[in-house]
Amino acid sequence: MSGIMKGMLLILMVLYIVSPIDACPGPIDDIIVLLIGIAVTKGSASGEE
């Protein structure tokens, strides 16, 4: 994953967490989105080496 894609993913994660529209009430979906974003960026970083 290129640096541009990682940046776009990070921006989308932040926008979803900050936005008032949620798929699920409470912080549960925000935590899931955060964990998925971290897993994707960590997984792609290890694949590049």
DSSP, residue by residue, 5-45: HHHHHHHHHHHHHHSS--SSSSSHHHHHHHHHHHHHHHHHH
Is it the case that residue 12 has pLDDT exceeding 80? Answer: yes
Across the chain, mean pLDDT equals: 77
23: Cβ contacts below 8 Å, ≥ 6 apart = 29
pTM tops 0.95, yes or no: no
Q: Stretch 18-26: mean pLDDT, rounded?
A: 77
Is it the case that residue 49 has pLDDT exceeding 50? Answer: no
